[in-house]
């Protein structure tokens, strides 16, 4: 009986004992703020050091990026290291990386500065919904996320996670918690007008900061006991601080977020911890100083040390141990979703792997090569489990099926004396004329050097390697004739051309082509000492041309090669009246370290037998081609040129967000010679040097140079055109 009484007493005591206290559920809220989001890294580092556990993360814009990558298991130290060294100016660039462009698209950089921005289709003119598509950002995110894909539910990550974007149709916040996570991160930071909206989940999504820059309300819906809220939003600027276009655009962004920030903060309770890093000297677009934003985050978190450590003391398990990451990707198969524009086989000719186990960077390189065709608005890709195979699913996105794109350039080349060339080049191009990516183009030029040209470029194989390229043009060009560096006559040439190329591309770096061309030249002397009668020249030509191009930047190259070898034969059998042969080789090599770069150029042109007609003679003179002389001041049957051009990136000027204008200072040494039937009394090498300032402007590369030759000739040059040809 006593045993039963004792047992009853124990059970009664258990029943009446105080319930065990549940450890608090802790949520981390990370706001948007662009480059100011670096402070999130400092806060997370401090939370780890204080052993504060996080049960879930909700993030907006850059807060979603850093929070999402951290929640997926990427060490915070790796995020800090990588984001501090990323080339953000390239990631936010309107232009596709030149190394990824197809060879044909690289040739466009010689002609056009405004490319594929305005288009026509379905009876209407279209301009992009954003300056950039965000493809480079998307690939940066996917390089982290591919190894852990498929990700079907963000709540199944190492730390449950939600990203916040805004439906631009309704203006309401949209919570993203499943699907393509890299695309969700891109949508969350798609700043309106800068990054094109993301069409996902039946919404048209832009930056979450527009609706919920500090997503407290969304975090509260997850029933936390405590929220740690990090706000790196930019405060409204004062009138005196708005001094340029970048300031106006920044203030507009600040206004869009200001009201929802105040509303979100009003939902915080005394239990919640608000961390507001002091980021006075860092604005939303200051990505070049990203690392400087980390320490203010640490300091702000440490200012809340007592409260944060108290949270850590309530949770015995401390910070959740992240599983060890595998940075490799298994690709058993490739599938194309939503096949558009091209033949299905063409996709597989671009997206293939020699090994099953690859790195995320190898995957993104294949995607970059496909994107370099410049026919897709964006290319999405994820790893999915399909029929027991880890399949890379590639989804090309095009907004218009068969657009006509408009391109244009301003051209300026003057020596402030005799050479004064100004013109506008414009074109209309359809790069998707058929499923083999046939392309027609019409080009016009007005100003000094009027002309009109048309061509059709047609790949002949599904891998786009073989091609045929018929073309026709007419151009009227003024030229000057010198003798011993003195101008003695000016001429006008009207040149009609018709030809066809048959060739083969080698990847994106080079091509070999054979061609036939007929040329009719009408040359008239306008003024000066009579040196030629009016000439009518008919030339029929066949040739073999090998070209290569791996330059990173054709305006201010830092690494790579660019050149060509040409063997041409002129003969009456090809439709002309003259017989001679020519050989030409040209190469430019660029090397760099830090802000210093050196471009080394060599050119050798030779007429192999007989005398070339006047239009086929070789010339020297002009910017970086003996800068101390005017353009084309030397003329002969043969020519040679060697040059060394040094340039230093002096500074960057932020005229508009994420598109800094680089300013360069530099100098050059050049030596050149023309010989055989020359316009000189003495066939000797001419040495020249120059000093110059240059800028990579929105209108193109602008150079201002002063040059002098070793025999005392001087020239100044102002040019708005590619100088490295």
Active-site entry in 31, 61, 72, 99: 61
Residue 6 binned pLDDT confidence (cut-offs 50, 70, 90)? very low
Residue 380 binned pLDDT confidence (cut-offs 50, 70, 90)? very high
pLDDT of 224? 94
> Alpha-carbon distance 474 to 498, whole Å?
9
Which CATH superfamily hosts domain 329-397?
membrane protein fhac (3.10.20.310)
Q: What are the backbone dihedrals phi and psi of residue 616, each rounded to the nearest 5 degrees, phi first? A: -100, 5
Q: In this structure, what token pair is assigned to residue 388?
A: 């027991």
Residue 1 binned pLDDT confidence (cut-offs 50, 70, 90)? very low
Asked about 364 being catalytic, the answer comes back as: no
Q: Which has the minimum average pLDDT: 237-251, 399-413, 487-501, 512-526? A: 237-251
pLDDT of 262? 83
User: Quick check: 569 pLDDT over 70?
Assistant: yes
Q: Which has the minimum average pLDDT: 208-212, 310-314, 519-523, 712-716? A: 310-314
pLDDT of 255? 76
Q: How many CB atoms lie within 10 A of CB 422?
A: 14
Write down the mean pLDDT value for the chain: 89
> Alpha-carbon distance 419 to 297, whole Å?
57
pLDDT of 17? 43
Active-site entry in 55, 108, 167, 207: 207
Q: Which has the minimum average pLDDT: 65-79, 322-336, 494-508? A: 322-336
Tens-digit pLDDT profile for residues 234-292: 887 777 777 776 677 777 777 777 778 888 888 889 999 999 999 888 888 888 889 99
Asked about 61 being catalytic, the answer comes back as: yes
Nearest of 395, 301, 290 to residue 36 by alpha carbon: 290
Residue 319 binned pLDDT confidence (cut-offs 50, 70, 90)? low
First to last CA, the chain: 107
User: Quick check: 477 pLDDT over 60?
Assistant: yes
pLDDT of 321? 56
User: Quick check: 14 pLDDT over 60?
Assistant: no
> Alpha-carbon distance 544 to 509, whole Å?
18
More confident residue, 86 or 448: 86
Tens-digit pLDDT profile for residues 609-622: 899 998 899 999 99
User: Quick check: 3 pLDDT over 80?
Assistant: no
Tens-digit pLDDT profile for residues 433-444: 999 999 999 999
Tens-digit pLDDT profile for residues 632-681: 899 999 999 999 999 999 988 876 655 678 999 999 999 999 998 887 77
Q: How many residues does the chain have?
A: 725
pLDDT of 658? 59
How far is residue 333 from each of residues 110, 150, 189, 396, 598, measured CA to CA in Å? Answer: 39, 14, 31, 17, 44
pLDDT of 584? 97
User: Quick check: 453 pLDDT over 90?
Assistant: yes
Query: How large is the average pLDDT for residues 523-536?
Result: 80
Tens-digit pLDDT profile for residues 615-641: 899 999 999 999 999 988 999 999 999
Residues 441 and 455: beta-carbon distance below 8 Å: yes
User: Quick check: 69 pLDDT over 60?
Assistant: yes
Extents of the domains making up the chain: 26-94+133-313, 329-397, 461-720
Per the confidence metrics, is the pTM higher than 0.85?
A: yes
Residue 16 binned pLDDT confidence (cut-offs 50, 70, 90)? very low
Please tell me the class of the 26-94+133-313 domain.
alpha beta
- CATH number among 3.30.70.3040, 3.40.50.800, 3.30.365.10, 2.40.160.50, domain 461-720: 2.40.160.50
More confident residue, 179 or 111: 179
Q: Which has the minimum average pLDDT: 249-263, 311-325, 685-699? A: 311-325
């Amino acid at each position: 009986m006593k045993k039963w009484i004792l047992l009853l007493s124990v059970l009664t005591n258990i029943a009446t004992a105080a319930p065990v206290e549940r450890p608090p559920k802790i949520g981390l809220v990370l706001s948007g703020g662009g480059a100011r989001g670096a402070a999130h890294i400092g806060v997370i580092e401090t939370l780890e050091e204080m052993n504060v556990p996080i049960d879930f993360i909700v993030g907006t814009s850059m807060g979603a990026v850093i929070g999402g990558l951290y929640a997926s298991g990427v060490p915070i130290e790796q995020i800090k290291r990588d984001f501090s060294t990323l080339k953000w100016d390239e990631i936010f660039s309107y232009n596709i990386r030149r190394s990824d462009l197809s060879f044909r698209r690289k040739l466009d950089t010689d002609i056009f500065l405004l490319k594929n921005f305005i288009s026509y289709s379905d009876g209407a003119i279209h301009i992009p919904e954003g300056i950039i598509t965000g493809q480079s950002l998307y690939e940066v995110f996917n390089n982290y996320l591919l190894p852990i894909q498929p990700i079907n539910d963000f709540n199944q990550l190492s730390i449950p996670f939600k990203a916040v974007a805004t439906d631009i149709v309704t203006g309401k916040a949209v919570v993203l918690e499943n699907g393509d996570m890299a695309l969700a991160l891109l949508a969350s930071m798609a700043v309106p007008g800068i990054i094109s909206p993301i069409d996902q989940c039946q919404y048209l999504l832009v930056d979450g900061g527009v609706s919920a820059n500090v997503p407290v309300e969304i975090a509260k819906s997850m029933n936390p006991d405590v929220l740690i809220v990090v706000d790196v939003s930019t405060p409204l600027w004062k009138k005196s601080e708005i001094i340029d276009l970048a300031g106006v655009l920044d203030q507009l962004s600040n206004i869009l977020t200001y009201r929802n920030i105040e509303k979100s903060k009003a939902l915080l309770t005394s239990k919640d911890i608000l961390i507001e890093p002091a980021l006075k000297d860092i604005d939303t677009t200051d990505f070049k100083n990203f690392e400087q934003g980390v320490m203010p985050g640490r300091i702000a978190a440490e200012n809340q040390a007592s409260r944060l450590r108290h949270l850590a003391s309530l949770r015995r398990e401390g910070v959740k141990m992240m599983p060890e990451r595998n940075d490799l990707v298994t690709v058993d198969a490739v599938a194309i979703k939503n096949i558009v524009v091209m033949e299905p086989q063409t996709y597989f000719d671009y997206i293939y792997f020699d090994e099953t186990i690859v790195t995320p960077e190898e995957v993104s390189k294949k995607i970059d090569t496909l994107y370099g065709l410049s026919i897709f608005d964006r290319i999405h890709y994820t790893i999915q489990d399909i029929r027991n195979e880890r399949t890379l699913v590639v989804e090309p996105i095009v907004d218009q099926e068969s657009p006509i794109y408009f391109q244009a350039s301003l051209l300026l080349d003057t020596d402030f004396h005799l050479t004064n060339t100004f013109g506008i080049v414009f074109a209309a191009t359809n790069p998707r004329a058929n499923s083999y990516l046939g392309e027609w183009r019409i080009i016009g030029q007005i100003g000094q050097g009027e002309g009109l040209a048309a061509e059709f470029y047609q790949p002949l194989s599904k891998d786009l390697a073989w091609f045929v390229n018929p073309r026709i043009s007419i151009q009227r060009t003024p030229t000057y004739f010198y003798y011993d560096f003195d101008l003695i006559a000016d001429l006008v040439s009207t040149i009609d051309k018709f030809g066809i190329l048959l060739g083969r591309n080698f990847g994106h770096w080079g091509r070999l082509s054979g061609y036939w061309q007929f040329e009719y030249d009408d040359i008239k002397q306008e003024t000066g000492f009579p040196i030629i009668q009016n000439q009518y020249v008919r030339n029929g030509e066949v040739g073999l041309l090998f070209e290569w191009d791996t330059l990173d930047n054709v305006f201010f190259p830092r690494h790579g090669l660019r050149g060509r070898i040409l063997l041409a034969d002129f003969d009456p059998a090809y439709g002309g009246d003259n017989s001679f042969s020519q050989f030409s080789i040209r190469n430019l090599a660029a090397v760099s370290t830090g802000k210093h770069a050196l471009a080394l150029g060599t050119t050798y042109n030779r007429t192999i037998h007989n005398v070339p007609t006047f239009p086929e003679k070789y010339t020297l003179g002009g910017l970086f081609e003996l800068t101390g002389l005017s353009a084309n001041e030397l003329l002969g049957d043969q020519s040679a040129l060697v040059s060394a051009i040094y340039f230093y990136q002096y500074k960057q000027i932020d005229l508009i967000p994420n598109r800094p204008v680089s300013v360069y200072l530099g100098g050059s040494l050049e030596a050149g010679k023309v010989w055989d039937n020359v316009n000189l009394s003495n066939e000797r090498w001419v040495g020249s040097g120059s000093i110059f300032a240059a800028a990579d402007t929105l209108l193109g590369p602008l150079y201002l140079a002063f040059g002098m030759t070793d025999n005392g000739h001087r020239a100044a040059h102002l040019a708005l055109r590619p100088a490295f040809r």
